[in-house]
Structure 1
């Protein structure tokens, strides 16, 4: 079977690999460059926090398990995946109440989480600086983080080894179903396939509309909304941190070679793709102050870059996975949780494309629920920021 995949981020690379493993002839069409979309500006934390309804939580738990399974097949410690856990705490009464409710919900769902003391937290993160009121810390041992470029290199490298081809740059301007399959219209020609997978992140709405089945997504260019957020990338630092920290004022995780990624969710209100903040401006200075308050060994920290991440968000906030229309020729994948779900969605989509059998775990996430809908309420930042 000849299948075209549009987009070479985590989702596109994952589905290309899974299709190639099952013997499909795969061609990926990438408009700009691999990782040019959301995958290249992601906090990349694997988790299932505050992900509701229950089916969405369960899907993300399965996504975390798929990362672990993929890592086991690496033959050595995977360069792209670190599962050292996450620490979270609150510093005021309202935050403590929210965290306690979240932990209780996760415990009810048998999600691995436990309360630990300040001393236990410092044993996990020796350089941790904790504010005086913090006494109880939530520890999520099965959570982790991903280096997106290395994950894509793993997924796409295996697809390429199995014969998958890449056309880049290749701008898709139309998708038309034909008697025998689909035709992908390009800015400089066309290509034919038996089926096509749209894995184009925040460009999903335009491409699905071009295929005649518009799937609405939240505006990825709207400043100060749930779709945008600031990510700072530090210089190499001698701070001992090997896991994710999600704290009241700063989220932080390692980014390799001593660098850290930092995120202050309250600062996302100022995020504007049309006006990225200066790397030496007041937002950067604020992030660095928060970092030095949080971790010893970060004196002299500076940001080497400060990026505006643009999130891929289907209009109701939930994953989209399935065929557009009734012909089983145009399949779309779109999700905010692309890092957590990427390898799993790639595997499930490939099975549905090549076997024709629906995957029950995707039943609540079919694109039909959104097709043609307008007037959906805007998504609120607090629900989505920092979750990948």
Structure 2
């Protein structure tokens, strides 16, 4: 079976790897460079918070387990250091409800004291008014490019080829295959094309006559955009994810941290990325110094505006369109779900057997839907929403 994969982020790499392992002849078409899209600007927190309905939550839990299984066979990109979260008084009811929902789903979470939180993260500064802290021991974070390297490297080991730069400008479905047309001319025929184009999924799907509405990734202050600050190396002790009212933080290797203040995202605009020493950066660094010891003199090496790949109804897309030769993968949870979606998609493509986990996420749900009738997604403004 000859399979084309469009896009080489984590989702595309996961699909390429699993297809190559299953014996398919895989060619990946990447327009600019690996990890050039959302993969390169992701907070990369592995979790299943606020993932509703239940089927979406369960899919993300399975995605977390997939990272653990994959890492058992080698490599180091997933760090299961847990996550600590607390709320101020005005957010306590929301956090209590979120923890209760997760407990009802048998998701590992417990309330711990501030002292225990400081034992887990010795340099943590917990506000005096915080009574207790939610601890999620099975969560963690990913180094996205290291994950991509593992997935794509193994795909290459099993014969997958990369065409880059190669922009796909046409997908013509036939009864027994699909023709892929590239910018500048040239067409290649495949048995199946897998769309893993991230935030460009809608325009790429349109080439195949598929309806796959995505939230606008360019809209300032919307749910699809947000600031991510990347610090210079710091002498602070942090091995966990922190999701706090003022700041979300995760390690990024070599003493660097990734910082995110969700309330600041109302001013995020991909067309006007602030300077790494501007007001937004200074605010993020101030919040970081208030949160962790050992961060005196913290400054950002870069401040980026991340652009999320967000299907129009907020849920993952995974499956064939009506024609049966184009398979779409698009999700807001690409880092958590990338390896799992790749494996499940490859099984469906190679064997023809449908996976029940993907039953409610088929792209055919958008057939006949006017994208303008879909309500705009709510911007993330507190921990867990992003």
TM-score (norm 2): 0.97
The aligned counterpart of 1:34 is 34
Mapped contact 1:216–1:372 kept (Cα < 8 A): no
Deviation of residue 387 (structure 1)? 5.8
Rounded Cα–Cα distance in structure 1 between residues aligned with 2:144 and 2:368: 32
> Of 215, 218, 223, which aligns to 1:221?
218
Deviation of residue 180 (structure 1)? 3.2
> Of 115, 129, 145, which aligns to 1:119?
115
Mapped contact 1:90–1:247 kept (Cα < 8 A): yes
1:186 has 2:196 as partner = no
Mapped contact 2:80–2:141 kept (Cα < 8 A): yes
- Structure 1 residue matching 2:252: 3-state secondary structure: strand
Q: Could you list the per-position Cα deviations for residues 47-87 of structure 1 after superposition, in whole angstroms to 9, with x for gaps in the alignment?
A: 0001100000000000001011101111xxx3211001000
> Of 352, 363, 367, which aligns to 1:367?
363
Q: Which structure 2 residues correspond to residues 163-202 of structure 1 after superposition, within 5 A?
A: 163-188=159-184, 189-202=186-199
Rounded Cα–Cα distance in structure 1 between residues aligned with 2:219 and 2:311: 14
Deviation of residue 383 (structure 1)? 7.5
Rounded Cα–Cα distance in structure 1 between residues aligned with 2:214 and 2:46: 22
Rounded Cα–Cα distance in structure 1 between residues aligned with 2:383 and 2:113: 26
1:80 has 2:77 as partner = yes
Deviation of residue 377 (structure 1)? 0.6
Deviation of residue 370 (structure 1)? 1.7
> Of 127, 135, 138, which aligns to 1:139?
135
Rounded Cα–Cα distance in structure 1 between residues aligned with 2:92 and 2:297: 32
> Of 237, 242, 245, which aligns to 2:242?
245
| Count of residue correspondences | 383
Mapped contact 1:328–1:353 kept (Cα < 8 A): no
Rounded Cα–Cα distance in structure 2 between residues aligned with 1:221 and 1:172: 21
Rounded Cα–Cα distance in structure 2 between residues aligned with 1:104 and 1:383: 20
1:349–1:108: structure 2 CA closer, same or farther, 3 Å change rule? Answer: same
RMSD: 1.2
1:210 has 2:207 as partner = yes
- Structure 2 residue matching 1:285: 3-state secondary structure: helix
Mapped contact 1:11–1:345 kept (Cα < 8 A): yes
Mapped contact 1:50–1:383 kept (Cα < 8 A): no
Rounded Cα–Cα distance in structure 2 between residues aligned with 1:352 and 1:42: 28
The aligned counterpart of 2:298 is 301
1:231 has 2:224 as partner = no
- Structure 2 residue matching 1:256: 3-state secondary structure: coil
The aligned counterpart of 1:48 is 48
Q: Which structure 2 residues correspond to residues 51-62 of structure 1 after superposition, within 5 A?
A: 51-62=51-62
Mapped contact 1:194–1:329 kept (Cα < 8 A): yes
Deviation of residue 97 (structure 1)? 0.7
The aligned counterpart of 1:380 is 378
Deviation of residue 386 (structure 1)? 6.1
1:64 has 2:64 as partner = yes
